[in-house]
Amino acid sequence: MLMKKGCILCLLISVISLPLIAQNIIYSNLKELLTQHGDTTAVLRVEKRSRNQIVLTGGADYRITAGDDESLCRRLKKRCFAVRDEKGNLYLNCRKLRYKKLRFGAWYAPAVQLGKNIYFCAMPLGSVIGGNFVEEDDVKLGGNIGDALAASSLVTKRVCYELNGETGKVDFLGKDRMLQLLKNYPELKQAYLKDDSQEAKHTFKYLLELQNKQKK
């Protein structure tokens, strides 16, 4: 009897634990992402793209595939909106996103969800944003060639954007908006002001901190 009860208890524990097992999830659109109703897949390969790959072909930082499943790979590349890997990391398909009608290019950007909004890292787009991130040692020439070289120098730079979950609109995550997000966390706010940088390598870490606090 004791052995039977032990077996039954083990089975119950395993059944209860099933929903807690981390899964790879694919979202077809923003609504699915916000409601957490996506499709699961056993295999999801997340590959960090090299600097050379990004310079040569543009696009975002991560290439995401499904192993040998060619059909799912095509879906991930062209039709999928976002994915969440088994570690809980979120990635947005930049092919689906626009900032003031400008394209981010292909592949996936790292992202975090705070409430109904999504924040992600991508290259600076537009003359106003781009102008803030051209460094002194970047090439500065006039004409079409100069513009092309200036644009290429921004391909590997990263800033953060905010995707509004209600409107679907993408906006640049500037300093003022970031301070609004940090207003209830004075220590994070002071650290952010001390960094004094709008590049994603600084901004994104505070978004991750906010996400961790949101989970608690």
Q: Where are the domains of the chain?
A: 23-215
pLDDT > 90 in the chain, percent: 63
pLDDT at 70 over 70: yes
Residue type, 192: Y
List alpha helices for 18-116, DSSP H: 30-35, 51-57, 70-74
Contacts of 44 (CB under 8 A, 6+ apart): 24, 26, 64, 65, 66, 83, 85, 86
Instruction: Return the pLDDT at 26.
Output: 96
Instruction: Report yes or no: 179 and 173 within 8 Å, Cβ to Cβ.
Output: no
Rounded distance, CA 68 to CA 85, Å? 17
Rounded distance, CA 75 to CA 66, Å? 10
The total number of residues shown for the chain amounts to 216
pLDDT at 3 over 70: no
HSE toward the beta carbon, residue 60, CA cutoff 13 A: 29
Instruction: Return the pLDDT at 16.
Output: 41
pLDDT > 70 in the chain, percent: 79
Please give the mean pLDDT across all residues of the chain. 83
Instruction: Return the pLDDT at 135.
Output: 57
Q: What is the mean pLDDT of residues 59-74?
A: 93
pLDDT at 132 over 90: no
Instruction: Return the pLDDT at 86.
Output: 94
Reported as type and span, the H/E element at residue 5 is helix 2-17
Rounded distance, CA 33 to CA 112, Å? 11
Instruction: Return the pLDDT at 154.
Output: 77
Stronger pLDDT, 143 or 1, i.e. the higher one: 1
Instruction: Return the pLDDT at 95.
Output: 92
Q: What is the pLDDT of residues 152-210, one digit of tens each?
A: 567 888 999 999 999 999 999 999 999 999 999 999 999 999 998 888 988 999 999 99
Q: What is the pLDDT of residues 22-65, one digit of tens each?
A: 799 999 999 999 999 999 999 999 999 999 999 888 899 999 99
Q: What is the mean pLDDT of residues 129-158?
A: 58
Instruction: Return the pLDDT at 146.
Output: 39
Stronger pLDDT, 119 or 126, i.e. the higher one: 119
Q: CB count, 10 Å around CB of 198?
A: 18
Q: What is the mean pLDDT of residues 134-156?
A: 52
Residue 144: pLDDT band by 50, 70, 90 thresholds?
A: very low
DSSP conformation letters of 121-148: EE---SHHHHHTT--TTS----HHHHHH
